Amino acid sequence: MTILRPIFYLALLAFIIAAPFIAPDFRTQLATLWIFIILSMTWDMTGGQMGYNSLGNILFYGAGMYIAAVVGISIAYNVGEYTNAAGGGIYKFTDTQYFLGMALGLIAAGVLCAGIAWVLGYLLFGLRGPYFAIGTLGAAIAAGELVSNWEWVGGGQGIALPVFPGDDYENAKLFFYYLFAVTGVVLFIFLRWFYTTRFAAAINAIRDDEEKAEAMGLHTLRYKLITWSIAAFFVGIAGGISGYQLIHFEPLETAFQTINLGIFMVVCVLLGGKGTLWGPIIGAILFHVVKEVTWNYLLGWQWVALGALIVITVVYFQDGLMGWLARVKPEWFGERVTEKPALAGEPAE
């Protein structure tokens, strides 16, 4: 097992690097898959590991998109004038301006989203269970509505970003795929380490019984704020990248897409298995495949099918794939078996 593990990870890494060349027609879909993976993994940090089910993590995705775009534009032009022209052709970006703007924009998106999560956390972390879910959902919807009325960032029209330099659009697809992949891999490595630390043990304690955790001397609010901020940092970066990938985005349907991506990430995690390292990833892949298939074969009814998938997953299959495996093959999970009742928050049957 100990020898197999590095080989497995190296093979996986090789596959990630080679994937856009194995399936060159699916480069955009693969990049989208990375968005799902990143968002599910970060959602699981609070939802699965800490027991705080947020329905509003999409807020950081939208905010990251806007922050990255605004910072990237402001490096060369006045943002108000730029959005006023709605992406008219008079604004040219040199390669340096484009990449420097993007780099600064992504950093700003990550850091500021972490800040937003910190402030929002102060307001919302006193809410428990369903109230937290509704509160975060409300915050995300409110953010979308407010941004769509904010003329300086383009209002309901959204922002049109500069196009990737060069004529060959395949280069852009590859570039964004690898940008997402790097973010995702960094996030995975970070979480793999993070979930072994005492800090992760503390947030698991919060999930299992917050009152007892506090009685044991944990400063629970601080743990919750830090965890949510880390999650928001990665979501913000993912949002920033997808803003540049989409080129044009608008607030309600693309950036703060509460009822689409905002709920899909939760379903991905539930499908794969809450509170596990691999669950969100497997769930994201499964969900994305189902989504693409329904898109192709059920044109028009795809959203209905996805809604039905959400209901079915939540009602009949809430333990997810990993939870199911843990029940059927407990020996695969070693010591984790004893944790099982706490994971689901209720008896398994």
Establish if 341 lies at the interface with another protein (CB under 8 A): no
Q: Of residues 316, 331, 335, 349, which one binds another protein by CB under 8 A?
A: 316
Q: Are 142 and 276 in contact (CB under 8 A)?
A: no
Establish if 301 lies at the interface with another protein (CB under 8 A): yes
Distance in Å, CB of 262 to another protein, minimum: 10
**Distance of alpha carbon 33 from alpha carbon 27, whole angstroms:** 10
3-state secondary structure 144-169: HHHHCCCHHHCHHHCEECCCCCCCCH
Q: Which is nearer to another protein, 103 or 210 (CB)?
A: 210
Establish if 55 lies at the interface with another protein (CB under 8 A): yes
Distance in Å, CB of 288 to another protein, minimum: 17
Distance in Å, CB of 219 to another protein, minimum: 15
Residues 184-243 that bind another protein (CB under 8 A): none
Q: Which is nearer to another protein, 108 or 322 (CB)?
A: 322
Distance in Å, CB of 279 to another protein, minimum: 16
**Distance of alpha carbon 280 from alpha carbon 234, whole angstroms:** 15
Distance in Å, CB of 134 to another protein, minimum: 6
User: How many residues would you count in the chain?
Assistant: 349
Q: Which is nearer to another protein, 229 or 294 (CB)?
A: 294
Q: Which is nearer to another protein, 172 or 267 (CB)?
A: 267
Q: Which is nearer to another protein, 71 or 232 (CB)?
A: 232
- Region binding another protein by CB under 8 A among candidate stretches 67-75, 108-116, 183-191, 314-322: 314-322
Distance in Å, CB of 98 to another protein, minimum: 33
- 3-class secondary-structure state, position 3: coil
Count of CA atoms in the C-beta half-sphere (13 A) of 143: 27
Establish if 45 lies at the interface with another protein (CB under 8 A): no
Q: DSSP for 271-327?
A: HH-TT-SSHHHHHHHHHHHHHHHHHHHSTTTHHHHHHHHHHHHHHH-TTHHHHHHHH
- Region binding another protein by CB under 8 A among candidate stretches 5-13, 88-96, 143-151, 234-242: 143-151
State the virtual CA torsion across 305, 310, 313, 319 in degrees, nearest 10.
150
Which H or E run includes 248? strand 248-249
Phi first, then psi, for residue 98 (nearest 5°) are -60, -55
Residues 234-293 that bind another protein (CB under 8 A): 258-259, 263, 266-267, 270
Establish if 310 lies at the interface with another protein (CB under 8 A): yes
Picking from 162, 145, 164, 166, the residue whose alpha carbon sits closest to that of residue 85 is 162
State the virtual CA torsion across 71, 73, 77, 79 in degrees, nearest 10.
-70
Interface contacts to another protein, rule CB under 8 A: 53, 55, 123-124, 126-131, 133-135, 138-139, 141-142, 145-146, 148-149, 258-259, 263, 266-267, 270, 300-301, 303-304, 306-311, 314-316, 318, 345-346
